Amino acid sequence: MSRSRPASRWLPPATAPAAIAEALAGALTPSGDQPGKQAVPLAICQLLAARGIHSVDVARRFLRPSLDQVESPEAMIDLPRAADRLARAVERGEPILVHGDYDVDGICSTTVMTKVLRGLGGVVTPFIPDRITDGYDLGPAGIAAAHRIGAKVVLTCDCGTSAVESAAALRAAKIDLIITDHHLPGGALPEAFAVVNPKRADCPSVDKDLAAVGVAYKLARAVVARCGGDPAAVDDLLDLVALATIADVAPLRGENRVFARLGLKQLAASSHPGIRSLLRAARLDGKPLTAGRVGFTLAPRLNALGRLGQAIRGVELLLAEDEATANVIARECEELNAERQAMNRQMLDEAMRRVEQLDLDATWGIVLAQEGWHPGVIGIVASRLVEATSRPVMMVAVHDGVGKGSGRSISALDLHGVLHDCADLLVRFGGHRAAAGITIEAARLRAFSECFNEQVRSRLTAEDLVPTLRTDLELPIDAIDETLDRGLRHLEPFGVGNPGPIFVSRGVKVAQGPRRIGTEGVKLGLETPGGSLEGICWDGARAKGLAVGATVDIAYKLEANEYQGRRTLQAVIQDLRHG
């Protein structure tokens, strides 16, 4: 089986009446009393219109995100009650345990609440369980930590929505439990002092897409208001909010867009020694920070602590007040990330060999399990297998008769729903539509594999398994210029919920190449009226057989390449079709 992605079906661009884009372009063009302001190109307005942005007011809010677009924290159910209790704990000097999850969202949420509560004078201890020995969520390790410090309040970040038994244990011990989370409830909510989760069915807040760090940010604002603190102390943490929102692949629309856009600016010039050390270690200091660079370069280094080490070290890094302390932990992140990458490569090779032995005509939902796989990296490998097979994948690491699994899905399938219908075979499960985790007895893995495949087959059609490539706008290749590139920057940050536009240009002539770059990519020159536009195709198999003078249709993203002080545009080719 080739590791090149299967051939994609190009989805035609969404369309809106031409008059809408033209009206937006007219209204968003600066008037004579706004000298120096750049007009928004028509192509950008066409993209806005195709994404459902039809009014000038909505377009302006989208193009200029600001904190006044964020809904009041008081609109979220149980948040006022949680803020009151935390303010009271701060005032009385009651010990507070802030219990996070071991990914970037959990680490940053824990840091936000710890810094804010300590800044108000609170007695706060951060805690994150060990992925291997303690497992996910608020459990015995967290309860023991609460007793150890004499906590009167336990505040969870990015977990707790399913912790029914632990909530009962804390209630029996007369410890108030405040849950802040964003995971979809799988059943009855725990009986806690407060459950702050926008995905609660009875929560009236408008934005349901927040990462856990967005919930923490809102709670922090409310606590600061009650304690008479400075709200700027919370806004100073928007770099952490952006980092976690992007790392958790939260949709970059609505309030998340505000957090990501403002936080990325802050991240590049962060006042936090831990962030600065992390940027230096990742060789990102001084470079423009995009959501892509944060998600694929910066976040994995912080995530490596929770995958292969101790996630609490990530909190210590972000809480560090001096460069020396931060540098030590940043180096630790770098070493663990290199170890994770090597482990990924080995596990991916093993998993791909297993997949090659499957009958993919009959196997629509893939379950792979093995003793010795590390549970901290299986989710990354599952994502790669989904790309290679266009099928939902569940990877399970088995140890001492218990499997811990991480799954990723395709866009057409609700993975959480599939697991719900396999729940009688699982010890526990959680997650959402695109990604989920399970715990399972090893003896039940065969039955689960069969059930998983049956449930997937019952929900999908053969057409759902054909990968699709969303395209946004068809343009002649000579429309690609710096003006378009500048306009695209107003649409950033790009990610889930606001994907980077994919353009289609047809009948493009190959002027140079192709020549190999890296292990699988190729570079080629594309002929334009103004000269050659560089094209990069990271899946070199797509360009096989191309020669100078060949004509192709290309689907691509437009990116700027900066090298040795020179900035050029390049087409990052997502797919191409030979003419």
Domain boundary at 407, 440, 465, which?
Answer: 465
User: Does 459 share its domain with 483?
Assistant: no
The answer to whether residue 66 sits within a structural domain is no
Residue position matching structure tokens 């334009």: 528
CB 5 within 8 A of CB 14: no
Which pLDDT score, from 0 to 100, does residue 458 have?
Answer: 97
Domain boundary at 278, 300, 333, which?
Answer: 333
Assigned token pair, 45: 């307005």
The answer to whether residue 174 sits within a structural domain is yes
Interval 238-242 mean pLDDT: 98
**What amino acid occupies position 53?**
I
Question: Tens of pLDDT along 146-200?
Answer: 999 999 999 999 999 999 999 999 999 999 999 999 998 878 999 999 999 999 9
Q: Which residues is 11 bridged to in the sheet?
A: 470
d(CA 413, CA 408): 10
136: pLDDT strictly greater than 90:
no
Which pLDDT score, from 0 to 100, does residue 507 have?
Answer: 93
Question: Tens of pLDDT along 488-522?
Answer: 999 999 998 999 999 999 999 999 878 888 878 89
Which pLDDT score, from 0 to 100, does residue 310 have?
Answer: 94
Question: Tens of pLDDT along 73-96?
Answer: 999 999 999 999 999 999 999 999
Interval 263-280 mean pLDDT: 95
Return mean pLDDT, the chain. 93
Which pLDDT score, from 0 to 100, does residue 571 have?
Answer: 94
Residue position matching structure tokens 């032995």: 357
Confidence band for 3, pLDDT divided at 50, 70 and 90: very low
**How many CB atoms lie under 10 A from the CB of residue 37?**
11
User: Does 228 share its domain with 125?
Assistant: yes
User: Does 457 share its domain with 501?
Assistant: no
Which pLDDT score, from 0 to 100, does residue 61 have?
Answer: 95
The answer to whether residue 29 sits within a structural domain is yes
Question: How far is residue 463 CA from its own chain's centroid?
Answer: 27
User: Does 298 share its domain with 155?
Assistant: yes
Range of the domain at 373: 358-465
Q: Read off the pTM.
A: 0.89
Question: Tens of pLDDT along 337-360?
Answer: 999 999 999 999 999 999 999 999
Domain boundary at 427, 446, 465, which?
Answer: 465
Higher pLDDT, 91 or 466: 91
Residue position matching structure tokens 């994919």: 502
The answer to whether residue 260 sits within a structural domain is yes
Confidence band for 5, pLDDT divided at 50, 70 and 90: low
31: pLDDT strictly greater than 70:
no
User: Does 457 share its domain with 512?
Assistant: no
Question: Tens of pLDDT along 14-30?
Answer: 888 999 999 999 998 76
HEC-encoded secondary structure of 204-254? CCCCCCCCHHHHHHHHHHHHHHHHCCCCHHHHCCHHHHHHHHHHCCCCCCH
Helices 42-50 and 56-63 sit at what angle, rounded to 10 degrees?
100
Higher pLDDT, 539 or 348: 348
The answer to whether residue 4 sits within a structural domain is no
Higher pLDDT, 15 or 238: 238
Q: What is the CA radius of gyration of the chain?
A: 25
Which pLDDT score, from 0 to 100, does residue 71 have?
Answer: 98
CATH assignment at residue 535 = 2.40.50.460
Query: Which of 193, 227, 195, 258 shows the shortest CA–CA distance to 116?
Result: 227
Which pLDDT score, from 0 to 100, does residue 530 have?
Answer: 73
The answer to whether residue 276 sits within a structural domain is yes
d(CA 332, CA 285): 18
63: pLDDT strictly greater than 70:
yes
User: Does 260 share its domain with 232?
Assistant: yes
d(CA 64, CA 257): 10
Residue position matching structure tokens 């609440």: 113
User: Does 329 share its domain with 370?
Assistant: no
Confidence band for 1, pLDDT divided at 50, 70 and 90: very low
111: pLDDT strictly greater than 50:
yes
Share of the chain above pLDDT 70, in %: 97
Provide the number of structural domains found in the chain: 3
User: Does 430 share its domain with 479?
Assistant: no
User: Does 165 share its domain with 124?
Assistant: yes
The answer to whether residue 419 sits within a structural domain is yes
Longest Cα–Cα distance of the chain, Å, equals: 77
34: pLDDT strictly greater than 70:
no
Confidence band for 6, pLDDT divided at 50, 70 and 90: low
Interval 451-469 mean pLDDT: 95
Which pLDDT score, from 0 to 100, does residue 230 have?
Answer: 96
Confidence band for 36, pLDDT divided at 50, 70 and 90: very low
269: pLDDT strictly greater than 70:
yes
CB 238 within 8 A of CB 213: no
Q: How many residues does the chain have?
A: 579
Query: Which of 570, 493, 488 shows the shortest CA–CA distance to 532?
Result: 570
Which pLDDT score, from 0 to 100, does residue 30 have?
Answer: 61
Contacts of 483 (CB under 8 A, 6+ apart): 41
d(CA 520, CA 518): 6
The answer to whether residue 437 sits within a structural domain is yes
CATH assignment at residue 390 = 3.10.310.30
User: Does 263 share its domain with 160?
Assistant: yes
d(CA 409, CA 435): 6
d(CA 456, CA 460): 6
Question: Tens of pLDDT along 362-420?
Answer: 999 999 999 999 988 899 999 999 999 999 999 999 999 999 999 999 989 999 999 99
Higher pLDDT, 566 or 96: 96
User: Does 452 share its domain with 504?
Assistant: no
User: Does 459 share its domain with 494?
Assistant: no
Query: Which of 95, 113, 86 shows the shortest CA–CA distance to 318?
Result: 113
Which pLDDT score, from 0 to 100, does residue 376 have?
Answer: 84
Confidence band for 446, pLDDT divided at 50, 70 and 90: very high
38: pLDDT strictly greater than 80:
no
4: pLDDT strictly greater than 60:
no
CATH assignment at residue 166 = 3.90.1640.30
Which pLDDT score, from 0 to 100, does residue 33 have?
Answer: 46
